[in-house]
């Protein structure tokens, strides 16, 4: 049996939600080991002058506690 923990990370990107999700996982991986999954809980954008300038995600990251 494994013990799992979930943290929430908010991240953004100028290009896409996919890149924002990758940024969240990369940022979490700096201090968390054994990441098993990521669940995008919400997505949003920042708009300026009718253009999307930033993609944002709130990601739940699950990792194994050893």
The parent domain of residue 55 ranges over 3-65
Q: Buried b / exposed e across 15-46, counting CB within 10 Å, b at 16+? A: eebeebbbbbbeebeeebeeeeebeeeeeeee
Average pLDDT over residues 5-18: 97
Q: Per-residue pLDDT averaged across 47-51, rounded?
A: 97
pLDDT at 1: 85
User: 3-state secondary structure string, 32-57?
Assistant: CCCEEEEEEEEEEEEEECCEEEEEEE
pTM: 0.88
Assign residue 27 the CATH number of its domain. Answer: 3.30.1660.10
Task: Indicate the number of domains in the chain.
Answer: 1
Residue-wise pLDDT for 21-44, tens only, equals: 999 999 999 999 999 999 999 999
Rounded CA gap, 44 and 58, in Å?
A: 9
């Amino acid at each position: 049996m494994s013990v799992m923990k979930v943290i929430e990370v908010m991240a953004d990107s100028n290009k896409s939600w996919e890149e924002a999700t990758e940024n969240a996982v990369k940022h979490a991986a700096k201090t968390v080991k054994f990441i098993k999954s990521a669940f995008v809980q919400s997505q949003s954008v920042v708009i300026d002058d009718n253009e999307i300038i930033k993609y944002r995600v709130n990601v739940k990251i699950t990792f194994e506690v050893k």
